[in-house]
Each structure stands twice: as C-alpha cells, then as structure tokens.
Amino acid sequence: VNLPLYKESLYNFWVKIGDHSHLLYNGLTGAMIEVNDSEKQDLEVVFKEGYFRGSDEPFLKRLLGMGYLVGLEYDEVEKIIELKKHEIDSHKVLDIVISPTYKCNFRCTYCYVNFNDDEFAGSDTANILSFIENNIDSFKQINITWFGGEPLLCMNTIEFMTGEIETIRRRHHAKVLYFMTTNGFLLNSTTLERLVGLGIHYYHITIDGCKESHDKLRVTSERAGTYDIIIKNLITALDKYNNIFFTLRVNVNMETVEKVDDLLYFIPLRYRSRIQLNITPIIIEGKLIEKSLYRKINILLESAYQEGYQYYNQIIPLQRNAFCNADKKYNFQFGPNNQVYKCSPSCKPEVKVGVFNENKTIEFNDNYLKWQEAPLLNISCRLCKYLCFCFGGCKVNIVRGKMDVNCKRKYNDIEKLIYNKYITSNLPQNKVG
Ligand code: SF4
Ligand code: SF4
C-alpha cells in the first residue's frame, strides 16, 4: 500500500474555461494552469491519494512548486498568518493618508462624514512633515494619498505640503509617489495642471451607478447633479496628460448595475488602459448584499476587461498579504487638529489612535493598544477557503471582535472572479504595469 506523502492545498480552485478545458488556480501562490479533461482527472486522483503512481517526478515537483500539493505536515493557514505578520511589519512601503479637511463640496445622500469646517493649521503641516522626514529613510518608498472630505478644497495646503515633501525627498534621495482620492468635481484643467506639476499622477474617483442615480445621490451642497462635470474632467484629464492614471470606482445596486454600460462605453477605448475599474456594491453596514448582484458585477467586469479596462487588484489580489493599508503597523492617516487615525474616522471611533504633541511626536491612546493587541484573524477565518485572498478582512471588525455579514459573499461567485483574473492576465493591456 502506498501511504500518502502529500495533501492537496486548501486553496485550489477549479474553473471551467471551455468545453474540455479547465483552469486550476491556487489562491495562495497565484499559480494558474490550464488542463484538459483527462489531465484534470489525473490531478484529482493525485490530490485524493496524496502520492504519484508511476514515476512522474518532474510533474510532481512542478505541482509542489506551484503550491497545488503540499507536504502532509505543511500548515497553510499558519503560512498565511506568517505572510500577514510579515506584511504588517514590512518596511517596503509606508502609506500615509493626509486629509487636510473633512468638509466636502458634495452632500452625498448616504455620506456619514460630519462636515465640520476644520482645516490644517501650521502645526498640522509641521507635524506631518516632521513625521515624514523622520521615517523616510526606514522605508523603500512612501506613498502619500490626499484624502478628505474633499482634498481639492484645500489646494493651497496640498501645494505647500507637496513642495515641502519634495524637498525632503530630494534631501534623502527617497522614492515618493502621490495619490489623490477626490470626487472629481473640482478636477478641472487649471487645477489638474497644478497637481500634475506637483507630481500627483494617480487619482481615485467614484461614480454612483449611472448618470441618473449619480445625480440623485451625489449632489453639490446646492443640490445640483455632478455626473457630467466629473466625466468631462476625467476625459479632459486623460486626453491632456498621458502619464496620469485613474481608479474609477463605480458603486452599484440592483437597479443601476445594468445601466453602467453607458458610462463604460462612453469613455473612449484609447484611455481605458489607464483606468483601473472597480465596480462594487453599495455597502450599508450590517445589511446583506444579494448574491446575484455580485454575479452581475462580475459579468459586467468581464466585458469591461475585454473592452480595455485595467484589472483592479482587490478581491483576488496578488503580491499583497494584508486586507488593507490600515493593517500595516506604520501606516497612519492624518486629519485636522493634529489627529492621528488608522483609517478614515467616520463612524469608526476606534480608528482614532493618537494626537501629535508639542514635540511633534505622536501620543498614542488606548485605541492604539486595542489596534495593536487585536488578533491577526477572527477565529472563523482560519476555516475559510477565501482566507488566501482576504487575509481576515477589515481590521476594524477584528478590533470590534465581529464578522462582516458580507465578507464571504464577495467570493460567492468565485469561479467567475478567477475567470476574470485569468482573462485579464492574458489581455495585452494588462501585460504592462
Ligand atoms: S471572507 Fe470572511 S471568513 Fe473568510 S477570511 Fe475573509 S473575513 Fe474571514
Ligand atoms: S474600513 Fe476597514 S478595510 Fe476599509 S480601509 Fe478601514 S480598516 Fe481597511
């Protein structure tokens, strides 16, 4: 009798990609192979029996190398925990989010940010610049994201601080990349020229479904619709500068998901390779999202990728072993009044972790301890087949000791998600960058 020597990975996923062809994807290593019916059968026997009949050593080694098969003693959950720990402590990239204000020129009907008028004072900018200067040598790269509220309401602060950060960067021969999350309304030609001049090349904007729904939900403080102006700004920007990139997030629900096509095809093909597309359900905390909505989104994404849009590396990520930037130990968000957060503070009091004191150092509070001491994963994540993609989900939930009701739903349509990942890795626009 042959005793098993190996076991199948917990994170193998089969996806049918043709009448007689199949994809085997490993969620932990990202390995992807295409096999025919009989090869699939052979592999299933190996996975079941845990050893190889005959002497196909090179093939077995390949399977082991790709992670489809692992040693009997190998603990993949522990491996994920180890990868996550490593990522949390990593000094590769320091991600800093700067919100010079939480006020906004929009009054999105669902938004929960409280619109106080606070903006950065001299002490805020001095503290953040000093934080950057003190940390810049310890990381290979710093990513600065301008966030809010609406950051473009504080254009002068952005201009001043970016100039100062550039001086620090040059002094330390460091690498700094700049990003901005904006509602896009104020991103007109004049402003964009100033921003590009500052070296800000990556923008994240959000559209709510189609024009009709967007104009109902995302209104200016005077209650006017904003869709046309945002789209015009987006297209003008892509036309004028070939070195800027967008992440376009489109929020959808069952009513709007089928109307998003209009937007996607309105944007000319030649710009789409510079747009990462993220279509996502509108999330209301504690409320279940229909599984069929995920299905519809995935179908929409498939055609969008075929039509030139870039893959957004979120639900099935590669080269990322934490759920979000807030997971990582050294990443912070800075807001007005010298406040230090782990994540955007709206509705999440536990993310407020400290405040800069007169010596420009952060005085951490009890929340910071909670954040540090929270386990890496909630217990039930250890048994979850999607742990290889998700790494335990939002840290705020872990700090609160509760599960997100929708966490597994994102992966409900896993075959299609993997299929979309597979087609994008074969499309020419995804070969670069
Ligand atoms: S999908 Fe949910 S249960 Fe699974 S790892 Fe993520 S947070 Fe945990
Ligand atoms: S809400 Fe959770 S998942 Fe989202 S950015 Fe904050 S910590 Fe990360």
Q: Among the listed ranges 82-86, 212-216, 309-313, 389-393, which one has the minimum average pLDDT value?
A: 212-216
When the pLDDT of each residue in the chain is averaged and rounded to a whole number, the result is 91
Closest ligand to residue 351's CA: 2
Residue 195 CB less than 6 A away from ligand 2: no
Q: Which residue has the tokens 């960058």?
A: 433
pTM over 0.75: yes
pLDDT (0 to 100) of residue 51: 80
CB 425 within 8 A of CB 419: no
* Percent share of the chain, pLDDT over 70: 96
Tell the residue nearest (CA) to atom 3 of ligand 1.
381
CA dihedral 92, 96, 97, 101 (to 10 degrees): -170
56 C-alpha to center of ligand 2: Å?
A: 46
- Residue 392 Cβ inside 6 Å of ligand 1? The answer reads yes
Helix (H, G, I), strand (E, B) or coil at 97: strand
Residue 162 has pLDDT above 90, yes or no: yes
What is the per-residue pLDDT across 350-372, written as a single tens digit (0 to 9) for each?
999 999 999 999 999 999 999 99
Cα(249) to centroid(ligand 1), Å: 23
**Phi and psi for 137 in degrees, rounded to 5?**
-80, -15
Least confident of 115-124, 351-360, 378-387, 422-431: 422-431
- Paired tokens of 374: 């929270």
- CA–CA distance, 423 with 164 (Å, rounded to integer): 43
If you measure from the C-alpha of residue 354 to the centroid of ligand 2, how many angstroms do you get, rounded to a whole number? 18
Backbone angles phi, psi at 225, to 5 degrees: -65, 155
Q: Is the CB of 328 under 6 A from ligand 2?
A: no
386 in contact with ligand 1, CB cutoff 6 A: yes
Q: Is 410 in the pocket of ligand 2 (CB under 6 A)?
A: no
Q: Give every CB contact of residue 166 below 8 A, 6+ residues apart in sequence.
A: 176, 198, 199
Task: Show the tokens assigned to 161.
Answer: 């601080």
Identify the weakest region by mean pLDDT among 139-148, 152-161, 204-213: 204-213
Residue 5: pLDDT band with limits 50, 70, 90: confident
Instruction: Give CA–CA dist 120/150, Å, rounded.
Output: 13
The β-bridge relationship of strands 21-26 and 32-36 is antiparallel
pLDDT at 418 over 70: yes
CB of 352 sitting under 6 A from ligand 2 = no
Quick one: pLDDT at residue 431? Answer: 46
Amino acid making up residue 263: L
Question: How do strand 141-146 and strand 93-98 relate by DSSP bridges?
Answer: parallel
d(CA 170, CA 163): 11
